[in-house]
């Protein structure tokens, strides 16, 4: 393998730079030339290649975002567009591509390296590295960026909890996670929230409003004033808009507690938005990005393709879809097609992992409100 290109694609995630750095250093140590592609598949189509060497990746471990830039590129779903991309890669004599991103990015990689689509064109091997703050990719325990995002949410909620406690207030904090409530569930546990709302629970608008009103009423009866604040973490994927939720909950709370001073009972809303995606990567995300990229590049140079490097995968990963990496006992190399199929099941609530996540959280939540 003489030339390896690296791109970061989709939503940026803290720790992507650790992966770019490790891929560059490990690839160069193995004798390959390394090219970075700026702005993901969009940059590939615009021929935005840069050479990468040790100087270019020095000091990037502690930077959030991605030094290569990223983009979402809808046109990559079309074969003629991918044909153009393959021609550009061939012109740069690229033999292998490392794609660092989420499920959309891995789907793009799969089509790009599809032997049927390549036909008699220049062969191309690809390996994916999972990166998405949502932790919505299956067959990997963690994707790059999740840990930092969770820490950011916890830090923000700890701050909000100061005001909530001082004023006996109820806060609904909305966190990212397009189709997946993982961040809401896990950060709720770490924060000691009173309720987490996530799409996997499949609750109706009425259920959600009633659940919040019950939680507020229960918590407000606590004897100690310090325990009377209410923190609710809502995943953005829950279909009810947060402003509408506030209106519905406030109306019901006023009806339930007619004697309460309105300002003392109404909820406050904080939408954390893209704050959750940015910032200095945690030590774990730096480690994860480095180790997954190390496995990805070594596997690529050993002739592997169509695979994703995975981290300590859940028990549902078996030898028929992946093998433990010979380079790192915590990493597996998993068939990308299997990853995408399992991810679809996870996001549609069909997999045992999806059921386990929601079930385990519901059990914990019952205990939270005791």
Contact 233, 153 (CB under 8 A): yes
132 binds ligand F6P (CB under 6 A): yes
CB of 104 to ligand F6P, least distance (A): 9
Instruction: Give the count of residues interacting with ligand F6P (CB under 6 A).
Output: 11
Give just the sign of the alpha carbon dihedral 20, 23, 28, 29: positive
CB of 201 to ligand F6P, least distance (A): 18
- With residue 57 as reference, give the H or E element that holds it: helix 54-57
187 binds ligand F6P (CB under 6 A): no
CB of 117 to ligand F6P, least distance (A): 26
134 binds ligand F6P (CB under 6 A): yes
List the 170-175 sheet strands across, edge first: 195-197, 230-235, 170-175, 267-271
38 binds ligand F6P (CB under 6 A): no
CB of 132 to ligand F6P, least distance (A): 5
Task: Pick out residues in 86-105 that bind ligand F6P (CB under 6 A).
Answer: 102
Stretch that binds ligand F6P, among 128-136, 194-202, 205-213, 303-311 (CB under 6 A): 128-136
Q: Is 134 a catalytic residue?
A: yes
Stretch that binds ligand F6P, among 56-64, 172-180, 208-216, 299-307 (CB under 6 A): 172-180
Q: Which is nearer to ligand F6P, 72 or 268 (CB)?
A: 72
CB of 72 to ligand F6P, least distance (A): 6
106 binds ligand F6P (CB under 6 A): no
Q: Give the Cα separation of 329 and 235 in Å (integer).
A: 33
Residue 218 CB-half CA count within 13 A? 14
133 binds ligand F6P (CB under 6 A): yes
170-175 and 267-271 as β-strands: parallel, antiparallel, unpaired?
parallel
Cα separations in angstroms, 331 against 3, 72, 289, 291, 309: 24, 27, 12, 8, 7
Among 7, 8, 11, 184, binds ligand F6P (CB under 6 A): 11
DSSP labels for 149-177? Answer: HHHHHHHHHHHHHHHHHHHT-EEEEEE--
Q: Give the Cα separation of 368 and 345 in Å (integer).
A: 29
Contact code string over 300-329 relative to ligand F6P, x by CB under 6 A: ------------------------------
Reduced to 3 states (helix: H, G, I; strand: E, B; else coil), residue 359 is helix
Looking at 12, 95, 134, 147, which residue is catalytic? 134
Q: Which is nearer to ligand F6P, 186 or 304 (CB)?
A: 186
Return the DSSP state at 144.
B
Q: Give the Cα separation of 191 and 101 in Å (integer).
A: 28
128 binds ligand F6P (CB under 6 A): no
Q: Give the Cα separation of 68 and 51 in Å (integer).
A: 11
Contact 139, 342 (CB under 8 A): yes
39 binds ligand F6P (CB under 6 A): no
Q: Give the Cα separation of 191 and 51 in Å (integer).
A: 43
Task: Pick out residues in 260-279 that bind ligand F6P (CB under 6 A).
Answer: 277
Q: Which is nearer to ligand F6P, 181 or 322 (CB)?
A: 181
177 binds ligand F6P (CB under 6 A): yes
How far is C-alpha 297 from the geometric centre of its chain's CA atoms?
22
Residues in contact with ligand F6P by CB under 6 A are 11, 72, 102, 132-134, 176-178, 236, 277
What residues act catalytically? 134
């Amino acid at each position: 393998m003489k030339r390896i290109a690296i791109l970061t694609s989709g939503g940026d995630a803290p720790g992507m730079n650790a992966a770019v750095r490790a891929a560059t250093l490990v690839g160069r140590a193995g004798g390959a030339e390394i090219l970075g592609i700026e702005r993901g598949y969009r940059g590939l189509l615009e021929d935005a290649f840069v050479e990468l060497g040790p100087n270019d990746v020095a000091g990037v471990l502690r930077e959030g975002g991605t030094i290569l830039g990223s983009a979402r590129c809808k046109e990559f779903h079309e074969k003629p567009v991918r044909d153009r991309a393959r021609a550009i890669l061939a012109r740069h004599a690229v033999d292998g591509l490392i794609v660092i991103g989420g499920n959309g990015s891995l789907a793009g990689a799969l089509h790009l390296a599809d032997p049927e689509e390549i036909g008699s064109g220049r062969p191309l091997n690809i390996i994916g590295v999972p990166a998405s703050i949502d932790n919505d990719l299956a067959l990997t325990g963690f994707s790059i960026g999740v840990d930092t995002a969770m820490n950011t949410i916890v830090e923000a909620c700890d701050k909000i909890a100061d005001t909530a406690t001082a004023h006996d207030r109820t806060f609904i904090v909305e966190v990212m996670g397009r189709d997946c409530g993982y961040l809401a569930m896990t950060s709720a546990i770490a924060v000691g929230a009173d309720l987490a709302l996530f799409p996997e629970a499949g609750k109706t608008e009425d259920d959600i409003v009633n659940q919040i009103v019950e939680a507020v009423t229960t918590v407000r009866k606590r004897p100690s004033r310090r325990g009377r604040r209410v923190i609710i973490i809502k995943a953005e994927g829950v279909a009810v808009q947060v402003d509408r939720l506030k209106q519905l909950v406030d109306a019901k709370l006023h009806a339930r507690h007619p004697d309460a001073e309105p300002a003392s009972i109404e909820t406050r809303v904080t939408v954390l938005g893209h704050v959750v995606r940015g910032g200095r990567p945690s030590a774990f995300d730096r480690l994860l990005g480095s180790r997954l990229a190390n496995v990805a590049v070594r596997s690529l140079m050993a002739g592997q393709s169509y695979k994703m490097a995975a981290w300590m995968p859940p028990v549902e990963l078996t030898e028929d879809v992946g093998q433990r990496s010979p380079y790192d006992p915590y990493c597996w190399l998993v068939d990308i097609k299997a990853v995408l199929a399992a991810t679809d099941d996870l996001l549609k609530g069909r997999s045992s992992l999806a059921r386990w996540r929601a079930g385990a959280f519901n059990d914990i939540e019952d205990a939270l409100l005791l």
